[in-house]
Amino acid sequence: MATSELIEALQQLAHERKVDEFYLIERLEASLARSYQHILDLEWDARVTIDRQTGHIYVYELVPVGEPDPETGEYTEFEERDVTPADVSRIAAQNAKGVIASIVREAGRQSIYEEFSGRVGDLVTGTVLQGTSDFTIIKIREGVEAELPHYDVKRTATERNERPANEHYRHNQRLKVLIIEVRDPNSDAPRMRGEQARPSIVVSRTHPDLIRRLFEIEVPEIYDGMVDIKSIAREPGARSKVAVASREANLDPVGACVGPKGSRVRMVVEELRNERVDVIQWDENPAVYVANALSPAKVSHVLIDEANHYATVVVPDDQLSLAIGKEGQNARLAARLTGWHIDIKSASFAGSAAAPKNVLIDEEEDFDDDFGFCVYEGDDGNRCRNHARPGSRYCGIHADFED
């Protein structure tokens, strides 16, 4: 390969891979210096320069001058001795292919990291290129690919699964994904298996913030900041709950997110492949917030234990299964959404039939035997949460305290 052809090849590679041409040449010079030091069996380190105009290659041996530093034992001054071999271009061409491929790959990863490291949490639209049993490769734009991992985490604990169980992708399918990580090629952290051959960008379809970004697209009030998403709880592919609050007194946040005839939330549901999305209103009163979070179930009473962050919810008998949900899903998501431990009781089981209906009780002192709970109070001041035995004010454990 002629020297001018080498420069042309480097320029073409730099253009195709969107890598700075001079950075590519500098990396090639450093790599060739190590190769020539070995090929020429030099006693001292080598330095290689490539003429940016002609492509001529020059090899110099860095011969130390003077005395070494008394503390470090290293030389600080060097004399460059020209040791350029006659067949320098042939040797460079033989080594350049692998070196350039490595440099371009590393430079490309660095370029992607610099461009996308500040975009973690952004929603992007990509096209499915190919898929394996462990991950799907998605093209974000020309020359930039992302990895959507869906490993079996029981088999490969160090990996992750970012694909909902109900989703399977086909070639050329367009997907909205959330950027959750951009791998730093210069990081000293332990590398993932086969990381060098995998895309630098990791995306997700299971992250709760995916729903946040989708609502920002569909609901102008959220994008403008008039409606705030306070919390999201999600079981990907099945169901999600989103708590919203309004910063405008006359604006209904739930209605803004649902849209006319449900048009806005329907677009989010379609993008999530028919994952059910419940939009509920956030409230600073934890009792009201917990009751809202259990929607669509209707709640009679909520008793709040601030000290233990515990909420006891009483629901009508016909609402118990709806409040708990299939396999406990509704209660589980409500607890995750609110951050409160939620204990759900039916009205008959709690002995609260005599209590006024549709009243939310959030004062701890109202937690008494009117609801059929044990009245025993421990040394730490906390009330027992067991139900009282019939005809008694105490549960079976604390029956000895009966007057």
pLDDT in tens, 13-67: 777 766 778 877 887 888 888 888 888 888 888 998 988 877 788 889 998 888 8
Burial environment of residue 335 by CB neighbours within 10 A (0 to 12, 13 to 18, 19 or more): buried
Rounded to whole angstroms, how far apart are CA atoms 36 and 58? 11
Position 355 scores a pLDDT of 44
Any idea which architecture 208-282 has in CATH?
A: 2-Layer Sandwich (3.30)
- Residue 147 CA to residue 55 CA, distance in Å, equals 38
Exposure of 77 by Cβ count < 10 A (0-12 exposed, 13-18 middle, 19+ buried)?
Answer: exposed
Confidence of residue 236 (pLDDT cuts 50, 70, 90): very high
Q: What is the DSSP track for 243-254? A: EEEESSTT--HH
| Residue 277: pLDDT over 80 | yes
pLDDT digits 0-9 by tens, 174-207: 999 999 999 888 776 656 565 666 888 999 999 9
What does residue 283 show for φ and ψ, rounded to 5 degrees? -145, 140
d(CA 387, CA 185): 59
Q: For residue 208, say if its preceding peptide bond is cis, omega within 30 degrees of 0.
A: no
| Higher-pLDDT residue of 394, 224 | 224
Domains 120-206 and 208-282 share a fold: no
Percent of the chain's residues with pLDDT above 90: 42
- φ and ψ at residue 314, rounded to 5 degrees: -110, 125
Cβ partners under 8 Å of residue 84, min gap 6: 57, 58, 59, 60
When the candidates are 3.40.640.10, 3.30.413.10, 2.40.50.140, 3.90.1010.10, the CATH number that belongs to 120-206 is 2.40.50.140
| Structural class in CATH, domain 284-372 | alpha beta
Rounded Cα–Cα distance for residues 379 and 28 (Å): 74
Chain segment 339-373, per-residue pLDDT in tens:
999 999 888 776 544 444 444 544 444 444 444 56
The DSSP-derived string for 182-197 is E--TT--SPPPTTGGG
Domain extent listing, the chain: 3-115, 120-206, 208-282, 284-372
| DSSP-assigned beta bridge partners for residue 59 | 48
Query: Domain 3-115 in CATH: superfamily?
Result: NusA, N-terminal domain (3.30.1480.10)
Overall pTM > 0.75: no
What is the pLDDT, as a whole number, of residue 386? 63
